[in-house]
Structure 1
């Protein structure tokens, strides 16, 4: 019991193997890069670090929604709300009167 009181556990080492590592593919890419450098072939990769993607509203547009349909839905919702308020107020008035 006393031996377990002062026992400190040892740290665990993690051994995480690479999941998508293909040494043949990497070797082939290295060979291709070396050959392209020797032949003077340069692939032009245009990448601008200051570029921000314009994704605002793309999901809504892809799902077929537009601002016009959203506005129409809002108007219908407001109309229904006003109609329900009128019906409830008439029901309360009739209940209190009789």
Structure 2
């Protein structure tokens, strides 16, 4: 009874087998790459090593655009708030005067 009261579970081991790993194919590919490099043969692959995405400044431009719209919204909100305060003040003045 006391042993089951202070029971601590055993740790679980993480074991994930390789699903799509073929060591012979990988070794053959490495050997082919090494031979092609020695012979000076260059293959065009799907990706270009000189490729640079054109993202410079896009985040800053997007944030600048959104800040302009946000500042306009803020200005309109402040104007509405000021107008509401004036109306309530006028109503309170007229209520307490009469």
Aligned residues between the structures = 86
Question: Is residue 84 from structure 1 mapped to residue 78 from structure 2 by the alignment?
Answer: no
Moved >6 Å (runs of 4+): none
| Cα separation, 2, equivalents of 1:45 and 1:92 | 72
Q: Cα 1:3–1:92, aligned 2, differ >3 Å: closer, same or farther?
A: closer
Give the structure-1-normalised TM-score: 0.52
| Cα separation, 2, equivalents of 1:59 and 1:17 | 45
| Cα separation, 1, equivalents of 2:68 and 2:78 | 16
Question: Is residue 23 from structure 1 mapped to residue 21 from structure 2 by the alignment?
Answer: yes
Q: SS at the partner of 1:23?
A: coil
| Cα separation, 2, equivalents of 1:36 and 1:79 | 71
- Structure 2, unaligned stretches of length 5 or more? 51-55
Q: Cα 1:54–1:35, aligned 2, differ >3 Å: closer, same or farther?
A: farther
Measured against aligned partners, the alpha-carbon deviations of 1:23-52 in whole angstroms (never above 9, x if no partner) come to 36x727535532432223579846xxxxxx
Please state how far the C-alpha of 1:90 moved relative to its aligned partner.
Answer: 0.9
- Structure 1, unaligned stretches of length 5 or more? 47-52
Backbone CA RMSD of aligned residues: 3.9
